[in-house]
Structures are given as C-alpha cells and as structure tokens.
C-alpha cells in the first residue's frame, strides 16, 4: 500500500451528496446519506456487502433516478429526487384532514386550507425544478466509474483500443488518429504499452484488466472517479499496485476519487477521509487518521477489530467485536441523527450517545 501522503486537497467542494435516499420498494438501500468530497481528495466509502455503497455510487452517476435528496457537482445539481417534496404534500394533506375531522370549522379551517394549498404549490414547484435538473446530463462525463472487473461485461471481441476509445466515440470523436493518440497516451499512463491496443481482454491478467479499466475512465479526462471495489477481486500484491496507480494518477491529473471498499484496511492509507456505511445509513465520517485513532460508532469499532495486524502478539489477543444494533442503541424515544461530535468528525447518534461521545473525545 502507498505511504500515506498528506495531499493538499482544497477546501473547494467538488461533490455534494445531500440527504440521498434510494429506495427499492421497501428496501431502503440508501437512507438519508449526506457527505461532501473536496476537490483533490480521496474519500473512502466503506461498509460490508449490501450496506448501500454501490447504490450510492450509482446514484451519483445517475444510473438511477434517486428517490429523494440532491447531488451537486461543482455547485450544479446533477441529480434530484422528488420523494421528500411528495412526502411534504402528503403530510400537509393529512394534517388538514385530521384538523377537519377533529371538528374545526370556520375561519380556522379556511386558514388551514390556505396553508395546505401554499405548501402543495411550493412542493409542486420544487418537484418541477428537480425533474428539470434530473434531465440535465451535462456533468456526467466529468464523473467516471471504475468497477470491480471493469471489462467483464464488455463484448470479448472488442480490442483494448475499442474498449478504451468507446467513451470518446460516444462523445462524438471521429478523428481516428486523434483517438489512437489518446488511447496510446492513456495506455502508457496506466503502465501498459501501445502494443496492447490491438489485443483482446482475455489475454490480460486481472491486474492488467483493471489497468485497462482505469485507462477507459481516465481517457475521458474526468474530474471525479468513483472506484467501486476496484481491487477486491485481485491478489493482495496486485491490489497495492492498482492503488499505487490510482494514487499516482491522482497527483498527475489532479483527480478526485470516491473509493468504495468493504475493507477498512484497503482505504486506510489511500483516503484522506472515510465514511462508514451500515444498512443504508452513514454511521461515521472523519479524517482517515482520526477515524482509526478515535472510532466512536460501535459499528466502526467492529470493522476495525476485524483488521489483522502483522504482529503475532496482537493477533493472539485480537478479539473481533460484533455489532448488534439492538444491544447498542435504544432509539425508541431519543432518535438518532448525523451529528458533528468534534470538528469534521460526524457520528450517527442520539442525544444521550452524543453527550457520551463528546465526553469520550475530551478524554482523548
Ligand atoms: N437495482 C436494485 N433493485 C433492488 N434492490 C437493489 C438494487 N440494487 C441494490 N439493491 C439492494 O440494495 C441494498 C444495497 O445494495 P448495494 O449493492 O448498494 O450494497 P453494497 O454495500 O455496495 O454491497 P456489495 O458490496 O455487495 O455490492 C441491498 O440490499 C441490495 O440487495
């Protein structure tokens, strides 16, 4: 793994995810998730299988129409869900009906009706605006995604040249010489050679295939790369090479990376900040070092306890902490939300936990 360098990520926000909800019928795959990614930083998004990491990434690149919330890229809203506006309309209608049923009449009822209609008109306006923004596709080529085995789903009869150039062709590039030049440039950038352009994906090893996947993304000159478990299928030694490559490109191209992984040890050295997801919720978010030094949420502690260390003495004593939400939290009355416990360190917690975490941080 690369040495952790403190890359100066700017304070400029490149990506802002605001109250993102992505529901698949009853399944709240992503439920009210908010975070920002600064220009130039690597933001690690971790959590175990099924916690909603992939869905978050896909929602950002608009593979889904999000249920609710907003996604901003360079200040422009590129994805918007209409759910929360619809829920507000329902709430206003229900409140009015309840008032009417309770026997309220005359001026009071008239006022309530007026209020209800105002809420409905405003929310309908928001729905229209969200739908207009959702249709806009402008920012999307500035964001590219890298998958676990990025060329697995591609037609095996396509050459590496065609695979890498596909995005350029779709974007309207017709000049074959220019396309070839770009393909050779990015092949070299990712540690391959121009002779590879005429070959087929099956001729390459897993690590090389991932390099082709990276080339396919960077050829579009993106500002943001969403790397979804890009090294999970690779041997540990190859994992380090691919991470080093991404780290190198990040410096050379000034890239910003949203790095999705299920394993905290993979993101530790590479990420400036880390967000931990559990069952559709972001449960903790902090600077990478801070998260490892002062993990607060019991789920983060459980993930950390699963990381093996190359120290036999520690390994003998290491105990995997299991996270059992019902044992850890009582959210029946005191409800949780995502709160800032220390500057830049956020935890999903209720009032009682918030007070306890604050105390804990004081002792650190
Ligand atoms: N298109 C879909 N339709 C219905 N349910 C979906 C869809 N995509 C994901 N889900 C469900 O949403 C939840 C979150 O899935 P997601 O793939 O985002 O999690 P993940 O943390 O990335 O997991 P993995 O590491 O296994 O990809 C899961 O319960 C999954 O079954």
Ligand 1 pocket member 51 (CB < 6 A) = yes
Residue holding tokens 């990478």?
288
3-state helix, strand, coil in the chain (%, to 5): 45, 20, 30
Q: Domain 13-62+137-363 class?
A: alpha beta
The secondary structure of 220-276 as a DSSP string is T--SEEEEESTTTTS-HHHHHHHHHHHHHHHHHHT-EEEEEES-HHHHHTT-SEEEE
Atom of ligand 1 nearest to the CA of 229: 25
Atom 6, ligand 1: residue with shortest CA distance: 24
- How many other C-beta atoms can be found within 10 angstroms of the C-beta atom of residue 37? 25
Residue-level pLDDT at 139: 55
pTM for the whole structure: 0.90
Provide the pLDDT for residue 4: 47
Nearest CA to ligand 1 atom 8: 55
Q: Which residue's structure tokens are 């000049």?
A: 175
Q: How many angstroms separate the CA atoms of 4 and 272, rounded?
A: 9
Phi, psi of 260 (to 5 degrees): -100, 130
CB 165 within 8 A of CB 176: no
pLDDT at 266: 83
62 C-alpha to ligand 1 centroid (Å): 15
Partner residues linked to 28 by β-bridges: 23
Domain spans of the chain?
Answer: 13-62+137-363, 82-135
Q: Ligand 1, closest atom to CA 58?
A: 18
- Between the CA of 64 and the centroid of ligand 1 the distance, in Å, is 12
Paired sense of beta strands 345-349 and 337-342, if any: antiparallel
Q: Compute the distance from residue 281 Cα to the ligand 1 centre, in Å.
A: 13
Kindly provide the ipTM of the predicted complex, given to two decimals.
0.92
Is the CB of residue 347 below 6 angstroms from any atom belonging to ligand 1? Answer: no
Summarize pLDDT for 136-194 with one digit per residue, the tens: 765 567 999 998 877 777 788 999 999 999 999 998 999 999 999 999 999 999 999 99
Q: Is the CB of 67 under 6 A from ligand 1?
A: no
Candidate of 21, 52, 266 to mutate for ligand 1, largest count of ligand atoms within 8 Å of Cβ = 52
C-alpha gyration radius of the chain: 24
Our answer on whether the CB atom of 179 is closer than 6 Å to any ligand 1 atom is: no
- Which contacts of 163-171 are long-range, i.e. CB under 8 A and separated by 24 or more positions? 163/201, 163/212, 163/216, 164/197, 164/212, 164/215, 164/216, 164/219, 165/219, 166/216, 167/141, 167/216, 167/219, 167/220, 168/219, 168/220, 171/141, 171/220
Distance between CA 3 and CA 298 in Å, rounded? Answer: 28
User: 29 in ligand 1 pocket by Cβ < 6 Å?
Assistant: yes
The residue nearest atom 24 of ligand 1, judged by CA position, is 49
Write out 187-213 in H/E/C secondary structure.
HHHCCCCHHHHHCCHHHCCHHHHHHHH
Positions in the chain whose pLDDT score sits under 70: 1-10, 137-140
Whether 49 lines ligand 1, by a CB cut-off of 6 Å, is yes
Q: Whose CA is nearest to atom 10 of ligand 1?
A: 29
Cβ of 55 closer than 6 Å to ligand 1, yes or no, is yes
Q: Which atom of ligand 1 is nearest to the CA of 277?
A: 21
Of the candidates 45, 40, 3, 6, which has an alpha carbon nearest to the alpha carbon of residue 251? Answer: 40
For a ligand 1 pocket test, name from 25, 29, 303 the mutation site with the most ligand atoms within 8 angstroms of its C-beta. Answer: 29
Largest CA distance in the chain: 83
């Amino acid at each position: 793994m690369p040495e952790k360098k403190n890359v100066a990520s700017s304070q400029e926000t490149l990506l802002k995810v605001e109250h993102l909800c992505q529901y698949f019928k009853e399944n709240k795959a992503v439920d009210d998730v908010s975070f920002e990614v600064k220009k130039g930083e690597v933001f690690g998004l971790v959590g175990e299988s099924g916690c909603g990491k992939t869905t978050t990434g896909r929602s950002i690149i608009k593979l889904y129409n999000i249920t609710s919330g907003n996604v901003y890229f360079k200040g422009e809203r590129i994805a918007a869900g209409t759910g929360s506006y619809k829920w507000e309309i329902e709430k206003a209608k229900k409140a009015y009906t309840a008032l009417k049923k309770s026997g309220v009449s005359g001026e009071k009822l008239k006022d309530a009706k007026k209020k209800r209609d105002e809420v409905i008109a405003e929310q309908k306006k928001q729905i229209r605006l969200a739908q207009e923004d959702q249709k806009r596709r402008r920012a999307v080529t500035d964001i590219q995604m890298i998958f676990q085995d990025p060329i697995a789903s591609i037609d095996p009869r396509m050459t590496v040249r065609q695979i890498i150039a596909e995005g350029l062709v779709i974007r309207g590039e017709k000049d074959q010489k220019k396309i070839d030049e770009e393909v050779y440039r990015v092949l070299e950038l990712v540690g391959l050679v121009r002779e590879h352009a005429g070959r087929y994906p099956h001729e390459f090893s897993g690590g090389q295939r991932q390099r082709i996947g990276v080339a396919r993304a960077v050829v579009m000159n993106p500002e943001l790369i969403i790397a979804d478990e890009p090294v999970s299928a690779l041997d540990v030694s190859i994992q380090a090479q691919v991470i080093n490559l991404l780290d190198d490109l990040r410096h050379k191209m000034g890239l910003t990376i949203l790095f999705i992984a299920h394993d905290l040890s993979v993101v530790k050295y590479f990420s400036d900040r880390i967000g931990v997801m559990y069952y559709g919720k972001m449960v903790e978010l902090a600077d990478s070092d801070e998260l490892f030094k002062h993990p607060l949420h019991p789920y983060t502690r459980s993930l950390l306890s699963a990381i093996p260390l190359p120290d036999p003495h520690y390994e003998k004593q290491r105990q995997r902490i299991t996270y059992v939400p019902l044992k850890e939290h009582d959210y029946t009355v005191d409800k949780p939300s995502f709160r800032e416990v220390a500057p830049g360190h956020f935890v999903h917690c209720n009032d009682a936990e918030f007070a306890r975490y604050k105390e804990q941080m004081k002792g650190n």
